[in-house]
Amino acid sequence: MYFIGIDIGGTKIAICIGEENGNIVAFDRIQTQPLGGSSQGIKAIEDLIKKLLCTIPLTLDDIKAIGISCPGPISFREGKILDPPNLKGWENTLIREEIENIFKKPTFMNNDANAAAMAEWEFGERKKTDDLIYITASTGIGGGILVNGKLLQGQTDTAGEVGHYVLDINGPTCPCGRKGCFEAFCGAAAVAKRVREEIHQEKIRTKILDEAENLANVSMVHIFEAVRKKDAYALSVWKEYVERFAQGIGILLMAFNPQAIILGTVALHSKDLFFKPFFEHLPRFAWKRTIECCRIEPSVLGYDIGKLGALSLAIDGMKGRSSEQP
């Protein structure tokens, strides 16, 4: 039997059809913004799934279940997208119910970080590791936490929102409105914004600008490249970034004592720069024994994790391994 994965994001909606072992037999994507909102988006999802089924070819009789990964915040219990800041027009959408009504298949949904954690459990290097945490470190910081092989949802479905615990009450302002959140220090968007402001206000001469060509373009990628070229300002930014990242991970180590912590995007882009200083800083924030029992490493699933996450929600939903769907 086959499963369908729907990965809804602020930029794109990716849809795949795959087997229980993670083998993807069909995949396509559409841009999110031109759709304008959930009504048009759900119709586009329906059309694309039907198109993919025809190309294989399969029928709905071959599909066992559907998984939906989407940005938070969500209501897992209601199967609802609430008010994600980067998904305008999808507010309060009962996405699970709508997709289930169209295709008449068991449908499971969760936020994208939780879906990624399930993908790591199902298909990653540390698969079937029951106490596992996945950290997405890209535009923002998020997480998915598995305890005894089941996703930790929390009372308001916000367990794993690790980007918004506070590392320093006097730190930079976070997109959530508070000061000093993990995301304010280590989210790529927040770091790039702060670097652009510092370069402009303090008239800093840095290879970051050489890499980006102009100030408005500065991103984490340009910071990485300037670090590799030993630029003094970039090195100072990177030192604080890695130190704060170690602090954020140290909290998770002490709170959950997991077997594995898998790191997403930034660790993939910069692992040659990241891991040595990260492990040097980590003992300042967690006990030696706690660190030694945990594998901390980059994801081997790379850029497939979005579609594999959505697929794994369907697979594990049918197995009953993830948090019980209402």
- Where is the domain boundary, 119, 145, 168? 119
Q: Are residues 139 and 81 in the same domain?
A: no
Q: Are residues 279 and 219 in the same domain?
A: yes
Q: Give the pLDDT score at 326.
A: 45
Q: What are the tens digits of pLDDT across the range 185-238?
A: 999 999 999 999 999 999 999 999 999 999 999 999 999 999 999 999 999 999
Domain holding 255, by residue range, is 128-300
CB contact set of 311 (below 8 Å; sequence gap of 6+): 3, 4, 5, 16, 18, 22, 24, 67, 119
CB contact set of 248 (below 8 Å; sequence gap of 6+): 141, 162, 165, 167, 182, 185, 186
Q: Are residues 94 and 240 in the same domain?
A: no
Q: Give the pLDDT score at 324.
A: 46
Q: Are residues 255 and 200 in the same domain?
A: yes
Distance (Å, whole) CA 261 – CA 293: 11
Mean pLDDT by 10 residues, the chain (326 residues): 93 94 95 91 96 94 96 91 87 96 97 94 93 91 93 92 95 92 94 96 96 94 95 97 98 97 87 93 98 96 90 91 48
Q: Are residues 154 and 235 in the same domain?
A: yes
Q: Please check whether residue 287 is in contact with residue 321, taking contact to mean a CB–CB distance below 8 angstroms.
A: no
Give the CATH number, domain containing residue 206: 3.30.420.40
Query: What are the angstrom distances between the C-alpha of 96 and each of 29, 65, 250?
Result: 19, 12, 35
Into how many domains does the chain fold?
2
User: Of 293, 294, 297, whose CA–CA distance to 278 is shortest?
Assistant: 297
Q: Are residues 155 and 105 in the same domain?
A: no
Q: Would you say residue 261 lies in a domain?
A: yes
Q: Are residues 99 and 157 in the same domain?
A: no
Q: Would you say residue 150 lies in a domain?
A: yes
Q: Give the pLDDT score at 141.
A: 92
**Which contacts of 282-285 are long-range, i.e. CB under 8 A and separated by 24 or more positions?**
282/246, 282/249, 282/250, 282/253, 284/246, 284/247, 284/250, 285/246, 285/247, 285/249, 285/250, 285/251, 285/253, 285/254
User: Of 109, 84, 85, whose CA–CA distance to 95 is shortest?
Assistant: 109
